[in-house]
Amino acid sequence: MFFGCLASKRNVCRVHSLNHDEANALDGLTTLLAAWVKTLDKESRSLCDQVIMLEGRNSLDDDPICMFELLAIPKERPVMQFVVHCVVLSETLEPGPCVCAEPDYPFELRMVDRKWRLGSTAGNQFTTLDIATSDELCKFLLSLKSDWTIFPIATAICVTRPTLIDMTAFGRGEAFLPERKTTARRKPVPFNLPKEFDVGDPVLFGSESSAPVSIGFETMHVLRMLFLARQRKILICLLMFHQTCVTISSKL
């Protein structure tokens, strides 16, 4: 069932078989299908009874086309789905085409069978259900129309038939619209300074702090002596530097 590029776990390679726009469109449609599957509970995913109608248009004025698919096996790692193609049966129980207009409800659906994919084309007597991956399905859909919508279909197995591949469709639900992800806004955290740093008006605090302060005579004398000691140290350093220069010049 798996074939394609070995560089990724995707059934249809986005790098070697599609251009940038086609790859984005395929990712968008497969993401929509995966979002619908995610809304189903675990039991609904395992019962293999979920049928959807995919309605495709190129614009709002375009005549829509439809395809009916049965969710067979949903996978989570990697995220992908296996679906079974279904066709509408006529009054004589003859299967119609996979792509059709939406019929009036109720109507009969049948799962499509085909030759075994891994068998030889000559003399292949083995048949199986026409199963496709979500990548294969979405790539085929985008080759027909650009915009697709998912509608869930209410169905039941036809108990009067000697087969389990026939179903009766009773009606369709509302169009599936994925929930938009919204990022919750963070509440602003109040920033309170410690009381030691709460100085009020900074301009007023600075002017008050820089006001002249009266000091006593003894303090003034100590400051003067420190200033003179620093000046003397600088003078001694200059004299020593001058003496060194004179000594070097005399030797030269």
pLDDT, one tens digit per residue, over 183-193 is 667 777 666 66
User: Band of the pLDDT at 123, cuts 50, 70, 90?
Assistant: low
Lowest mean pLDDT among 18-22, 58-62, 207-211: 207-211
- Given a cut of 70, is residue 81 above it in pLDDT? yes
pLDDT for the residue 2? 45
Q: What is the pLDDT of residues 140-187, one digit of tens each?
A: 999 999 999 999 999 999 888 888 889 999 999 999 988 777 666 777
pTM over 0.75, yes/no = no
Identity of the residue numbered 220: M
Handedness of CA 87, 89, 93, 94 (dihedral sign): negative
Residue 182 backbone phi and psi in degrees, to 5: -120, 130
Q: To 5 degrees, how large is the angle CA 36–CA 146–CA 24?
A: 70
What are the b/e assignments for 54-89, b being 16+ CB within 10 Å?
bbbeeeeeeebbbbbbbbeebeeeebbbbbbbbbbb
Is residue 83 very low, low, confident or very high in pLDDT (cuts 50, 70, 90)?
A: very high
